Amino acid sequence: MCKIVKTVTEYIDCVRSLTTYSDHLLFRGQTQDWPLIPSVGRSKASNGEENLICDFKTGVQAYVDLSGLSEWDIWALAQHHELRTRYLDWSLNALAALWFAMMGKKADQEEDKECKQAVVWVLSSYKQFTLSDDQLQSIQDPLSLKQSIIYQPKAISPRIVAQQGLFSIHVKNESGEFVPLEEQYQFRDELTKLVIPYGTEAESNAFDEMRNEINSLGANGAVFYPDIDGLCQHLNWLHSKDRNYFKLP
């Protein structure tokens, strides 16, 4: 299902309508209409996930004590700090997802019109795709999964907590490739795509108005990145003469 929204009110109305079918909604904001594939599946540069996560475990101990963290949470920490993994970020917070969808710089006028839209994916009834702690303990690590799942990490990072973050963890098919979540039979009927276009001048102006409005509602970089970097990012945007885009810390 796909719906077009051009105001924050329309967005909230769409979310509200989805809650009539399920109280358990997840949201993912994207600056462009990309398929739901994890970062490691979008890059050809990674020399094996095992090598990446092994090197991460070695290097990150200079900054974080990994003792007490499960293998699942170590991967979540790596994903949240932009290591290429088979995790994909989601949020329980609808406004957080909208902020992430609208944070990027809008596509240039000469780019394909199909690129000129941000997207928020909504996954309904997500709890049916989660595993219990006992089930997770019986699986060695994310590489051992047989099907894609939803994972809720422990409070391992202030940013994950602030963003109310969860993750979808993806598996490869028999050809060794990641199938987009929206094409996986168990997920596709539970997914709704909310499109925020900015291809025309009127749409672009409405897009900028939405950015200002979600900031007024308390959705901004200082909230979702609760540290000095997040504060400075938000202040740079707030005091900019050209609020053309939010920029990640």
pLDDT per residue rounded down to tens, the chain (249 residues) = 889 999 999 999 999 999 988 889 999 999 999 999 999 998 765 568 889 999 999 999 999 899 889 999 999 999 988 899 999 999 999 999 999 999 876 655 455 555 789 999 999 999 999 998 889 889 989 999 999 999 999 998 999 999 999 999 999 999 889 999 999 999 999 999 999 999 889 999 999 999 999 999 999 999 999 999 999 988 988 888 777 666 666
Query: Do 61 and 133 form a contact (C-beta atoms < 8 A)?
Result: no
106 alpha-carbon distance from chain centroid = 18
Cα 175 to Cα 184: distance, rounded to the nearest angstrom: 15
Cα 89 to Cα 80: distance, rounded to the nearest angstrom: 8
Cα 31 to Cα 196: distance, rounded to the nearest angstrom: 9
In sequence order, the 6+-apart residues with CB closer than 8 A to the CB of 152 are 130, 166
115 alpha-carbon distance from chain centroid = 18
Structure tokens at 245: 């885009």
In a domain, 50, yes or no: yes
In a domain, 226, yes or no: no
Give the structural domain span for 171. Answer: 2-220
Q: CA 96, 77, 24: angle at the middle one, nearest 5?
A: 40
In a domain, 228, yes or no: no
Amino acid residing at 2: C
In a domain, 227, yes or no: no
Cα 6 to Cα 195: distance, rounded to the nearest angstrom: 8
* Total Cβ atoms within 10 A of residue 196: 24
What is the count of structural domains for the chain?
1
In a domain, 188, yes or no: yes
In a domain, 28, yes or no: yes
pTM, entire model: 0.91
The H or E element spanning position 8 is helix 8-19
Maximum separation of any 2 CA atoms in the chain, in Å: 54
In a domain, 244, yes or no: no
Place of tokens 């994310």: 142
Amino acid residing at 174: E
Cα 117 to Cα 129: distance, rounded to the nearest angstrom: 29
Cα→Cα distances 213→99, 113, 208, 233, 246, Å: 10, 25, 9, 17, 13
61-90 pLDDT per residue, tens: 999 899 889 999 999 999 988 899 999 999
